[in-house]
Amino acid sequence: MPSSRPLAGLALAYVARFALVYGLLVWACAALPVYEWIETAVAHVAAVPLRERAMETRSLALEQRGHGWVYRYGFRVGALAKEIERPVHKHAFVLVLFAALVLATPALGARERLLFGLGGGAIVFLLCVAMLMSDLELWERQALEAAGYPNPPGPYPIPLGFIEGLHRTAAAGLLPLILWGFFVASRARRPERTPRATSSS
């Protein structure tokens, strides 16, 4: 029966490697406006499916206010027109977390790292978009209910309750970590392929 000490040592080495890579990425995001770049792209994508119809208009932008950044969300529903400003939430930290997981995972070739990084990164980026969409839905619902609208129509034609639940409980940030952990564990359990023996004729 194999000893658990080598496995524990590998796990600790992986955690230390991840902490180092994540720390470097966070430092880079603090030195450069990486979060703002990503959040700008997130806001652009989240603005595309905003509901536009008779008596309803909506707009979303990311703007700088002094040394900080804010979301500027404007909407008109019926006779009510309102503009909301909220500080940037940095949903992009989930994308930075995923990038650190991919870069820190050992035994991945360059091709696999690129494939999983781009494919998984696109999925995590859409998760960031969905979190911002759930924020907009919450802000608009609160504003309309305060103005006496009992059943606000919502800014999007799709339900976002599940994403809102993940976002409010911080589970959205843990989701990439959990899924990547399952992926790494499944690779570790995969038996190594051995070349098929051939008999000489």
Residue spans per domain, the chain: 14-48+90-188
Q: Is the pLDDT of residue 8 over 70?
A: no
Distances (CA, A) of 122 to 28, 95, 119: 20, 9, 5
Q: What is the mean pLDDT of the chain?
A: 82
* 111 confidence band (pLDDT: 50, 70, 90): confident
Q: Which residues are 150's β-sheet partners?
A: none
Q: What is the mean pLDDT of residues 4-21?
A: 74
How confident is the model at residue 6, as a pLDDT?
Answer: 60
* CB neighbour list of residue 153: distance below 8 Å, 6 or more residues apart: 51, 56, 77
pLDDT: which is higher, 196 or 125: 125
What is the per-residue pLDDT for 197? 44
Average pLDDT rounded to a whole number, residues 36-40: 92
Residue 200 — very low, low, confident or very high, per pLDDT cuts 50/70/90? very low
Question: How many whole angstroms separate alpha carbon 60 and alpha carbon 90?
Answer: 16
Distance (Å, whole) CA 85 – CA 29:
23
Give the per-residue pLDDT at 45: 96
Q: Looking at the predicted structure, is the pLDDT value of residue 25 above 80?
A: yes
- Provide mean pLDDT across the span 189-196: 52
The tokens describing 24, both together, are 């470097």
